[in-house]
Structure 1
């Protein structure tokens, strides 16, 4: 029972608690920073390095809190930590022993010059770099993650070849997909979290995961998801069939429809093993960070109790009939006039 209570703490309460903790920790760093000038140089330098590590840890904590922090708060915290880190590094540079000046004779200078001349490729590299930055490639993801990037009109269902490794837990990234159908329902590997960004007219089915699902910039999509925490940014005109163990959070979104998660073969067992069934489903308790008034936000609504369409999509996907599944999803969606 205690676990359920902890998991259903509202995002606003979590945000308020984080604010208090962040303020205390940054103040501790500032208090210690004020002592540096009164210490011997070596001790002051050691303290600065300790404080730099503390700020780095606080930065990691802030990144982890992105699941419930509003975007504005994230930016403010990030800027404060950036400024504090710059201040500490400036102090470290001032305290660090400076290298002694040494005069190189002409022979040494000629030797260095000849070595440089023997490496013309170094000059070529510098010229290339000066010509301008290279075009941005695929997004950087953790080395152990599974990612699908830059696809259009594809059916994505096959897990990685090593997905059955015992104890393997992977994060999944779905980035820059258009007109795709994604079916991750039958993967046997353990998924830690799912990151979804820049999806257009896609259908996504993900079996229950024990961690978070973070979404950004989903347009005209149908999403069938189950997770412990759900957060969505800058998404529009999307239908979500959701099982979530805490209140879903949306920000800078509109035209969203939230529906209950469909029960299909194997889903109940996955909900149990992932620990989600004990938390209950809070899909209809959406918190809109852009709507602070007491009455209903115009940016989302609860759909009808009928889950036949979602079940039909699931059954078609699990049979590999992905074109028919996309047809059943009726994409692009027509924005309901009531939203």
Structure 2
């Protein structure tokens, strides 16, 4: 047999072997993924049952033990959220959405149950206004509002936050925000500090404000804001109808903007003593930060960068 013919035959044989090996590896990979998905589903069911069982048993807990009991329920729910967050690579978009919907429903059940059986506190702002002979003008930016300061703290509610405030510095304790759905709306020229691990954060109609928030276990929603600075850590960040805002973010998925303009992004830069512990409570992975990954729903040209957002240059960034 001619040596060249023999060489071609050997080459074909090697190609067939390589193809067979590739198909075998693909079958094994598919099987591993299917097994992983089955395992993730089983663990999700088990972890969810832990939370629902705790909720069902809450009526038999002594009143003076309810606060730590519901802290434990919130931690178990956050553990369930972490399980889903850690499993993103194995899940389809549909499955991820279904899991997230179940977690959101569970969080609402926890809030409703807690509000139903725990002693209700009267909602009140505790404020202390500093006297100033030179109050700041209405056009002052958020970082200059200290001369007209009001420090406010809120009692625990199923939905808490700050609304319709101007030229104030607002804060909430870690205990008040943990596991809660927080809402900020109608704020102008305010600075808001939210150390803690809330479940979600909704912000709408903010003008010339600065918001610093600890790790949020699920999503941060921003709507109709302008000339603001946001420092947030979360699993998902969604920004709608906002302009001239800067976001310092730690986000484990991808940020989404829609109907926005002049939005800039930088990595999360707020530090305080309890931050690392609150990252653990929230279930967010500190080693994963996709702060520079942004999807613009108004810009579908994948080959060209969106004109609606940009990276904030390092020399312009601030440490908080």
TM-aligned CA deviation for residue 269 of structure 1: 3.4
Conservation of the 8 A alpha-carbon contact between 1:184 and 1:207: yes
User: Structure 1 17/6 Cα, relative in aligned 2: closer, same or farther at 3 Å?
Assistant: closer
TM-aligned CA deviation for residue 163 of structure 1: 2.4
Matches within 5 A, 1:213-224: 213-224=220-231
Partner of 1:203: 210
- Give, in whole Å, the separation in 2 of the partners of 1:152 and 1:237: 19
User: Structure 1 153/290 Cα, relative in aligned 2: closer, same or farther at 3 Å?
Assistant: same
Conservation of the 8 A alpha-carbon contact between 1:251 and 1:288: yes
Partner of 2:176: 163
Conservation of the 8 A alpha-carbon contact between 1:177 and 1:199: yes
TM-score by length of 1: 0.48
- Give, in whole Å, the separation in 1 of the partners of 2:202 and 2:215: 14
List alignment gaps of at least 5 residues for structure 1: 22-59, 66-141, 315-339
- Give, in whole Å, the separation in 2 of the partners of 1:143 and 1:183: 18
Partner of 1:284: 292
Q: Describe the SS at the equivalent of 1:177.
A: coil
TM-aligned CA deviation for residue 270 of structure 1: 2.6
TM-aligned CA deviation for residue 61 of structure 1: 5.7
Q: Describe the SS at the equivalent of 1:191.
A: coil
Partner of 2:271: 264
State the Cα deviation string for residues 2-53 of structure 1 (Å, max 9, x = none). Answer: 856644699xx737997xx9xxxxxxxxxxxxxxxxxxxxxxxxxxxxxxxx
Conservation of the 8 A alpha-carbon contact between 1:224 and 1:310: no
Q: 2:182 aligns with which of 163, 172, 196?
A: 172
Conservation of the 8 A alpha-carbon contact between 1:202 and 1:222: yes
List alignment gaps of at least 5 residues for structure 2: 1-35, 41-83, 106-155
Greater C-alpha Rg? 1
Count of paired positions: 186
Q: Describe the SS at the equivalent of 1:268.
A: helix
User: Structure 1 291/148 Cα, relative in aligned 2: closer, same or farther at 3 Å?
Assistant: same
Partner of 2:130: none
- Asked whether 1:149 is paired with 2:157, we answer no
TM-aligned CA deviation for residue 299 of structure 1: 0.2
Conservation of the 8 A alpha-carbon contact between 2:231 and 2:270: no
- Give, in whole Å, the separation in 1 of the partners of 2:242 and 2:89: 24
Q: 1:248 aligns with which of 250, 255, 258?
A: 255
Q: 2:314 aligns with which of 305, 317, 334?
A: 305
User: Structure 1 256/9 Cα, relative in aligned 2: closer, same or farther at 3 Å?
Assistant: farther
Partner of 1:296: 305
